[in-house]
Amino acid sequence: MSGPFARGASTAAEVAGRHADSVDRDARFPAETFAALKNERLLGAMVPRDFGGEGASLTDMAAVAHALAQRCPSSGLIFAMHQIQVACLVRHGQGSAWHRDLMARLAAEQLLLASATTEAGIGGDVRSSACSVEGDGDGDDGGFRLEKQATVISYGVEADAILVTARRKPDSPPSDQIIVPVLKDQLRLEAIGNWDTLGMRGTRSIGYHLRAEGVRAQIMPLSYADISAQTMLPVTHILWSSAWLGIASDAVARAGAFVRAEARKRPGTQPPGARRLAEVTARLQTMRGMVRGAIAQFEEASGSPDRLTSMGFAVAMNTLKMSSAEMVVRIVEQAMLVAGLSAYRNDSPYSLGRHLRDAHSAPLMISNDRVLGNTANLLLAHKDNGSLFG
Amino acid sequence: MVSSDDIRDLLRDSGWLTVDASELSENDDLYAAGLTSHGSVNLMLALEERFDIEFPEQLLRRRTFESIGAIRGAVAGLLGGTAAA
C-alpha cells in the first residue's frame, strides 16, 4: 500500500502474518498485532491533530484494515471494528468535553475500543434495545447504571473501552437509543459461553453480561439513530468490506503464485489453472472497484448529515455489504480451483483453508438476509436517480 | 390542504408509534415516540396514498419525518407543487 500510514501498516501486517496461524489455531486475540499497531500509533490515527492524533481519513484506515487482513483476517477485522468506534467518537464527540478528553486519551494511550450493540431477546436488530440507562441524576454530573445481556462483544476483555447502546430512559421505546462509551474500570464483564468457530477465530466474539456505571456526561449527545445512519452503518460496511477484500486479494495472490510456479516448470505451456486465474482476477477487480467506490461516496458525503441519512446512501452501503460478503466467498472458492489440491492442503504455501473459513463469516456478520430485508424495505420508497455519478 | 390532525389521525391508526399520536405536539420527536426507519417507510407510503403525492428522492431522509410539523410541511409543499426542503 502507499500513503502516509503505509510503513506502519506494513510493519504491523508483517507481525500479524507471523502469528496468524497460532491466532487461528488457538482462537486467541492477536495481541502481537495490536502491540505493533499501538507502537505505530495506528489505533488513534483518526483522532484529529488538535487532540493529539494524526487526522487520518477513513480511506487511510480502510487501507490499513485491508493490509492487515491479507496476512491475518482476524487482525484486520478487529482493527476495522475498533476504527468504527473511533469514527463515531471523532465524528460525533467533538462538541462535548468528556468525549474530547476520551479522544485525547485515545491518541495518547492508543486505547482499543469495542462495541456492545446486539442484545439477547432482540433478535440481532441493533436498532432496538431492551436495556436502558438508569439513574436519578439528570445533569451531566448525575450518575447512570446500565446492565446489558450482550450477545456479542468481540475482543471484549481486551478492549480499553466499550461503546454500549441502550434505550435513553427506562420508559423509552426500543428504537429510542443512545450510545455511551464506558471505560474498562467502569464495567464488569461476565462471559457467557465459549468461542470455538469455523473462522475469524481471533476476534473472540463471545457474549457477556455487562454491568456499567458512569456519569451522564459520557452519553454521546447525538441519538444513536443518527450516529448509526451517519457513521456507524456506512463505516462498518466500508471497513468490513475492506478487510474481506484483503482476504480475497491474498487468495488471488496465492493462486497467482501457484500458476507462475507451474509456468516456470514448463515454459511455453499455459498451466491448467491460468484461465481460472484470469477469471478470478476479473472478479477481484470488480470487488476492489466496488469497495473503492463506496469509500469515495462516503468521503464525498461525509460532511453532509442530509446526504448521509438519505435512503439512497443507506441503499448504497447496504448493497456494498451484501455484495462484498458474497464476493469474498466466491473469490476464495474460485482461487481454490486455480491451485487445486495445493490450495486445499493445510500444509502448502498455497493453502486457502483459513481464507475459506474466514470468508464464510462475511455473509453472517449482520446477516445478509437481514440487510436484504432492510434494503427491500428502503426500496419501497427509494427511487434510483439513474445517474452515473449520483 | 393538509392539517396536523390529518397526520395525527394517520399516525394514530398505523401502530408505528408506541405512544398515542393525539397527545403529540407539532414538534415532538417522532423517533423518540417509537418511529423506526422501517415505520417511516410505511408512513411515507401511507402519506403518498392518502394525499395522492409522490415524495422525491431529496425528501427521503430522516429529518422529513421527524415531527408532525415536518411531515405537514413536506406534504403541503408537495400538494402545492413546491418541494419543501
Which of A172, A226, A380 is closest, CB to CB, to B45?
A: A380
Domain final position from A91, A112, A133: A112
Over range A184-201, report the average pLDDT: 96
Query: Does residue A229 form part of some domain?
Result: yes
The answer to whether the Cβ–Cβ distance between B57 and A226 falls below 8 Å is: no
Contact A72, A80 (CB under 8 A): no
pLDDT, tens digit, 9 for 90 and up, residues A19-44: 999 999 999 999 999 999 999 999 99
Give me the residue label for grid cell 493445510: A346
pLDDT at B37 over 90: no
Q: Is residue A251 a part of any domain in this protein?
A: yes
> What's the mean pLDDT when you consider all of chain A?
95
* A193, A218, A243 - which closes a domain: A218
Q: Cα distance from B75 to chain A (closest Cα, Å)?
A: 15
Q: Which residue range forms the structural domain that includes residue A290?
A: 224-379
* In chain A, residues 19-38 whose CB comes closer than 8 Å to chain B: none
- Which residues of chain B does A225 touch, with a Cβ-Cβ cutoff of 8 Å? 31, 37, 62
Per-residue model confidence (pLDDT) at position B18: 87
Q: For residues A297 and A292, give the distance between their C-alpha atoms in angstroms, rounded to a whole number.
A: 9
Asked if A309's CB is within 8 angstroms of B63's CB, the reply is yes
Residue among B18, B34, B62 minimizing CB distance to A229: B62
Could you state, in order of their start, the residue ranges of all structural domains in chain B? 4-79
Work out how many CB contacts closer than 8 A connect A with B. 58
Residues A243 and A327 in one domain: yes
Q: Are residues A68 and A145 in the same domain?
A: no
Same-domain check for residues A149 and A20: no
Q: What is the pLDDT of residue A125?
A: 85
Give B62→chain A minimum CA distance, Å. 6
**pLDDT band, residue B82 (cuts 50/70/90):** low
Pick the CATH number of B4-79 from 3.40.50.170, 3.30.360.10, 3.40.50.1950, 1.10.1200.10: 1.10.1200.10
What pLDDT is recorded for position B85? 42
pLDDT of residue A293: 97
- Show which of A81, A112, A143 is a domain's final residue: A112
pLDDT digits (tens, 9 = 90+) for A161-188: 999 999 999 999 999 999 999 999 999 9
Mean pLDDT along residues B50-55:
94
Quote the pLDDT of residue A33: 98
% of residues, chain B, pLDDT over 70: 94
Measured between alpha carbons, how far is A313 from A59 in angstroms, rounded to an integer?
18
Percent of chain A with pLDDT over 90: 90
A139 pLDDT above the threshold of 70: yes
pLDDT for A49: 97
Q: Say yes or no: A161 and A68 in one domain.
A: no
Model pLDDT, residue B81: 66
**Chain A contacts of B38, Cβ < 8 Å?**
374, 377
Instruction: Assess A309–B contact: CB distance below 8 Å, yes or no.
Output: yes
pLDDT in tens, A323-336: 999 999 999 999 99
CA distance B76 to chain A (A): 19
ipTM of the complex as predicted: 0.82
Judgement on whether residues A10 and A101 belong to the same structural domain of the protein = yes
pLDDT score at B15 = 82
pLDDT band at A141 (very low <50, low <70, confident <90, very high): confident
**Domain annotation covers residue A142:** yes
Which is more confident, B61 or A46? A46
Model confidence at B17: pLDDT above 70: yes
Average pLDDT over residues A198-215: 97
Predicted local distance difference test score (pLDDT) of residue B83: 47
- Which residues of B lie closer than 8 Å to A, measured between beta carbons? 18-19, 31-38, 41-42, 44-45, 55, 57-58, 60-63
Contact residues, chain A, for B63 at CB < 8 Å: 306, 309
- Could you give the angle at the alpha carbon of A177 between the alpha carbons of A152 and A119, nearest 5°? 20
Where is average pLDDT lowest: A135-144, A215-224, A228-237, A247-256? A135-144
Section A246-263 average pLDDT = 98
Give chain A's domain count: 3
Say whether residue A319 is in contact with chain B using an 8 A CB cutoff. Answer: no
